[in-house]
Amino acid sequence: MSQFTLVINGKSRDVDVEPETPLLWVLRDSLGLTGTKYGCGLGLCGACTVHLDGKAVRSCQTPMKSIGSKKIVTIEGLGEGGLHPVQRAWIAEQVPQCGYCQSGQIMQAVSLLRSKPHPSVDEINAGMAGNICRCGTYQRIRRAIQRAARERTV
């Protein structure tokens, strides 16, 4: 067991866990932030995607000991009190079906748009290929990212 102080969604949180514990389980089990999902445990599906210093990472592959002072943002903190423009685009395009993967999809899409504000369809496909949606909302994910980019809101 080790003490860690994390900065999550702008707030400082203390946890006492084994250093190898992946961030995913600390978020979900220690801190009650269940918006970040478990999907595969191997970084294959993207359901657990969060931001570490603004970049998308797979929290199931991010051990506590590797985080240091990096700032963590989860789906719960993305909109900073309101909805992030990408979340609004997700609503406008009615993307979710079951919705389980969508936190990860949205976190990945925000990260993609930060590096490529106006991605082509190929760039969207490449940037989102690590996030699985078994309901098959891919067509709407593409549209929502294009909408968010078009509205120049990121």
Residues that bind other proteins (CB under 8 A): 1, 17-18, 21-22, 25, 28-30, 32-42, 44-45, 47, 74-76, 79, 83, 87, 90-91, 94-103, 106, 124-126, 128-142
Helix (H) or strand (E) holding 128: helix 121-128
Q: How far is the CB of 13 from other proteins (least distance, A)?
A: 16
Residue (4 or 25) nearer to other proteins, CB: 25
Q: Collect all residues with Cβ–Cβ distance below 8 Å to 112 and sequence separation of at least 6.
A: 56, 119, 123, 124, 127, 128, 145
Between 65 and 134, CB nearer to other proteins: 134
Residue 132 beta carbon to other proteins: minimum distance, rounded to whole angstroms: 6
Buried b (16+ CB within 10 A) or exposed e, 56-85: bbbbbebebeebeeeebbbbbbbeeeeebb
What residue type is assigned to position 77 of the chain?
A: G
Query: What are the two backbone dihedrals, phi and then psi, of residue 62, each rounded to the nearest 5 degrees?
Result: -115, 90
- 30 secondary structure, DSSP code: I
- For 51, the 3-state DSSP assignment is strand
Comparing CB distances to other proteins, the nearer of 34 and 70 is: 34
In the complex with other proteins, the residue whose CB is nearer, 18 or 53, is 18
Q: Which is nearer to other proteins, 4 or 90 (CB)?
A: 90
Report the nearest approach of other proteins to the CB of residue 36 (Å): 7
In the complex, least distance from residue 71 CB atom to other proteins, rounded to whole angstroms: 17
For the CB of residue 55, give the shortest distance to other proteins in the complex, in Å. Answer: 19
